[in-house]
Structure 1
Amino acid sequence: MSEADLALIHALQIAPRVSWAEAARVLDSSPTALAARWQRLREAGMAWVTVHSGEQSRDVVAFVDLQVDPARRAAAIERICRDPRAASVEEAAGGRDLVLTVIVPDYDSLAAFTLDDLPTTPGVRAVNTHVATRVHRQGSDWRLDALDRDQQAALRDAARNAESPGPGRVPDSYWPVVQRLARDGRQSAAEIARALDRDPATVRRQVARLLATDALAFRCEVAGLRSRWPIVCTWFARVPMTELDHTVRALSTLPELRLLVSTVGQSNLMFLLWARSSGDLMRIERSVDEKLPWLQLTESVLTLRTRKRMGWVLDRHGRATGELVLPHTLQPR
């Protein structure tokens, strides 16, 4: 992707629904040029804006490692990617074949998926589950490095002025609108009304209400292999509970950090990084070892391919195919 592509994506990471006019002022471009650039990126599966539930604190999140029969690997991936309980699916190296991010409403649902359904999936030979106790940082918090500080501040101001969300929940009648926004988080109310064959004024009011609460969280995703950050690695660590808060604050300063989660088990902390190179990974590991000597790295897992990310099915190169398997968090509860 070009520098202009990366700058636009970075802008939409900060303010996913910023108007093209406002974005053009910050990026020193024109609204027409930005709209055309975004359409090209989105159609190529290089970047997309979607939503996820802002109420995920009520959900159970787990990370599930699978060992899979090589002859049935492709079929197992296909089947698991179609399951809404598996929000993300990664092909990995380092003691497991697949790593799933699982988001379900309760522990009974987690047990049914990991103890009943996954073990009976053709090709799956072993299942190991790490249950998250707290999500400290997530993918929607991660940013590219394409904009300067002034540009980032201007876009943060634009996002606050446009939305200023307060507490709220999604009314039952709003779910069709939510699901349209999940497929294209920048769709206008008029476009959604046409797609749903609904009254434009009603949809406009519903969209405005959704934007005015924290019921939804918008996020701009990027095909990692096409950005400056093509290497994905997950580290499992053991940290004394007395040092956990300090560790979380220190790791949160890493620009490469995509995910930081407290877990139950032999390792009580898991963090995922997007890095520029293998040398970058070594540099980060040395830095963490020097600054956090009490942190014991127990395992590292390299992601070879991401086949699904937060419901979006990806191709072999990490690009969005346009197919979205709606997770339970974007369905009526």
Structure 2
Amino acid sequence: MAEEDLALIHALQIAPRVSWAEAARVLGCSPTALAGRWERLRRAGLAWLTVHSGEQSHDVVAFVDLRVEPSWRTEAIERIARDPRAASVEETADGRDLVLTVIVPDYDSLAAFTLDDLPTTPGVRAVNTHVATKVHRQGADWRLDSLDPDQQAALRESARHAKSPAGGHIPNSYWPVVQRLAHDGRQNAAEIARALGRDPATVRRQVARLLATDALAFRCEVAGLRTRWPIVCTWFAQVPMTELDHTVRSLSTLPELRLLVSTAGQSNLMFLLWARSAGDLMRIERLVNEKLPSLRLSESVLTLRTRKRMGWLLDRHGRATGEVVLPRSLLPR
């Protein structure tokens, strides 16, 4: 991707629904050019806007490792990727075949998926579950490095708006609008009203309410292989509880960090990085060992392909196919 493409994606990472006029003022180009560039990136599957549950969500998050018979691998991926409980699906190396990010409303749902449904999926030989006890950093927090500090500050100011105390409750009548936003997070109320055949004023009011609460969170995603960070690696570690807060603060300073989660089990911390190269992974591991002597790295897992990310199905090159399997959190309950 061109530098202008990366700059636009960085801007939408900070302010996913910023107007093209405001984005153009910050980036120094025309709104029409930005809109055209975004449409080209979106149609090529190189960048997209996704929606997930907001900050007030009480969903249970877990990371599930699967071992799969080689002859069943393709069929297992296809079947699991279309399950709304599996928000993300990665093909991995080093003792695992698939790693799933599972998001479900409660522990009963997690048990049903991991203990009942996954073990009976054709080809699945073993299931191992790591339950998240706290998500410290997530993919929505990760940023490209294409904008200067002043541009980033201007976009953060554009994205800042007052939140209603209404919390994360979404009325049933809003779900068609939520589902349209899940397929294209930058759609405006007029476009959604036309697609749904509904009254524009009603849709405008519903969109405004959704944006003014923590019910939904928007994030701009990018095809990792087309960025400067094509290598994806996950580390499992053990940290003394007395050092956990310091460790979280220190790891959060890494620009490569995409995910940082406390987990239940022998490894009580899991973090995922996007790196520039295999050599860069070694540099990061050495840095972590030097800066955090109390952290004991127990295992690293290299992602070979990402087949689904936060509901979006991806092709073999990590590009969005345009097909979205709505996560369970965005379906009426």
TM-score grouping bracket, smaller chain normalisation: over 0.9
Listed one character per residue, the Cα deviations across residues 241-271 of structure 1 (whole Å, up to 9, x for unaligned) are: 0000000000001000000000011100000
Partner residue of 2:164?
166
How many corresponding residue pairs?
331
CA contact (8 A) 2:138 2:259 kept: yes
After TM superposition, where is structure 1 displaced by more than 6 Å over at least 4 residues in a row? none
CA contact (8 A) 2:50 2:310 kept: no
Aligned residue runs from structure 1 range 1-333, under 5 A: 1-55=1-55, 57-160=57-160, 163-167=161-165, 168=167, 169-333=169-333
Structure 2 alignment gaps of length 5 or more: none
Q: Counterpart of 1:58 in 2: which secondary structure?
A: coil
Aligned partner letter, 1:72: W
CA contact (8 A) 1:56 1:329 kept: no
Structure 1 alignment gaps of length 5 or more: none
Structure 2: distance between partners of 1:247 and 1:216: 29
1:166: how far off? Answer: 3.0
TM-score by length of structure 1 reads 0.98
CA contact (8 A) 2:56 2:215 kept: no
CA contact (8 A) 1:9 1:47 kept: yes
Structure 2: distance between partners of 1:43 and 1:133: 37
Q: Counterpart of 1:9 in 2: which secondary structure?
A: helix
> CA RMSD for the aligned pairs?
0.8
Listed one character per residue, the Cα deviations across residues 151-207 of structure 1 (whole Å, up to 9, x for unaligned) are: 0000001111xx432332212211110111111000010000011100001000111
Q: Counterpart of 1:293 in 2: which secondary structure?
A: coil
Deviates more, 1:50-59 or 1:253-262: 50-59
Aligned partner letter, 1:293: P
TM-score by length of structure 2 reads 0.98
Structure 2: distance between partners of 1:134 and 1:121: 29
Structure 1: distance between partners of 2:186 and 2:75: 33
1:331: how far off? Answer: 1.0
Structure 2: distance between partners of 1:129 and 1:40: 39
Q: Counterpart of 1:329 in 2: which secondary structure?
A: helix
Structure 1: distance between partners of 2:331 and 2:117: 21
Aligned partner letter, 1:165: K
Structure 1: distance between partners of 2:66 and 2:77: 11
Q: Counterpart of 1:258 in 2: which secondary structure?
A: strand
Listed one character per residue, the Cα deviations across residues 208-251 of structure 1 (whole Å, up to 9, x for unaligned) are: 11111111111000000111110000000000000000000000
Q: Counterpart of 2:120 in 1: which secondary structure?
A: coil
Structure 2: distance between partners of 1:165 and 1:122: 45
Structure 2: distance between partners of 1:50 and 1:298: 33
Listed one character per residue, the Cα deviations across residues 14-50 of structure 1 (whole Å, up to 9, x for unaligned) are: 0000010100010010000000000000000000112
